[in-house]
Amino acid sequence: MKELSLNILDIVQNSIRAKADLISVEIRESVTTDVYNITITDNGSGISKDLMENVTDPFITTRTKRKMGLGLPLLKYHAEITGGGLEIISEEKKGTTVTAILSNKHIDRQPLGAIASVVMLLIAANPGINFSYSHRTDNGSFSFSTLEVKEFLETDTLNERDLLKDIGNLIDENLKQIEASGIFTKEKQE
């Protein structure tokens, strides 16, 4: 994977398969403290103790159609090549928290990429799941919650095309404002 947002998408899809209905993605980056942390938390079924021992082995997976799981092993690899690591905390029937700890300044740290597009895709494909996304830099912070937007708009779903486009633009603009590093906005993608 060439960008961290695709790693995030893969881990969030694990949360969806674990029947989570509340998924949070938090990114904390700092140039001054050389920190780039990605934390994904869900309230899904959790990881069994037996699987937890080998959860970052690409040849161990709970999938039945494909006998290889690359999400966690790749995220671990990307964290470790920057001098960081991967922490996983999980409790069966309560959920999982995955934290990737990377060096912000390391030459091998991948760009975040098109995170707004990933969030839009997750919202569009999973109307019954509440997602939150927050991002903090040395210059400020931004947070977004589908639950809050649904309550404000008095709707059950955010699947309308124009609304999704507005959400993507909102995320892109706020990430530019707080000077998030390595993002690919729609302008850069076109």
Residue 139 has pLDDT above 80, yes or no: yes
What is the tens place of the pLDDT at every residue in 41-77?
Answer: 999 999 888 887 877 766 665 555 544 456 888 999 9
pTM: 0.91
Residues of the chain by 3-state class (helix, strand, coil), percent to 5: 35, 25, 40
pLDDT of residue 59: 60
Q: What is the average per-residue pLDDT within 91-103?
A: 96
List of residues 6+ apart from 38 with CB closer than 8 A:
4, 7, 8, 25, 26, 27, 75, 99, 100, 102
Q: Domain 4-189 - what CATH class?
A: alpha beta
Q: What percent of the chain has pLDDT over 90?
A: 78
Helix or strand (DSSP H, E) at 88: strand 85-91
Between 154 and 2, residue with greater pLDDT: 154
pLDDT of residue 60: 61
Of the pLDDT bands very low, low, confident and very high (cuts 50, 70, 90), residue 93 is very high
Listed range (54-63, 76-85, 118-127) with the worst mean pLDDT: 54-63
Give the HSE-up count for residue 175: Cα atoms under 13 Å, Cβ half-sphere.
Answer: 27
pLDDT of residue 69: 56
What is the tens place of the pLDDT at every residue in 18-35?
Answer: 999 999 999 999 999 999
Q: How far apart are CA 6 and CA 76, in angstroms?
A: 14
Of the pLDDT bands very low, low, confident and very high (cuts 50, 70, 90), residue 186 is low
pLDDT of residue 62: 56
pLDDT of residue 68: 46
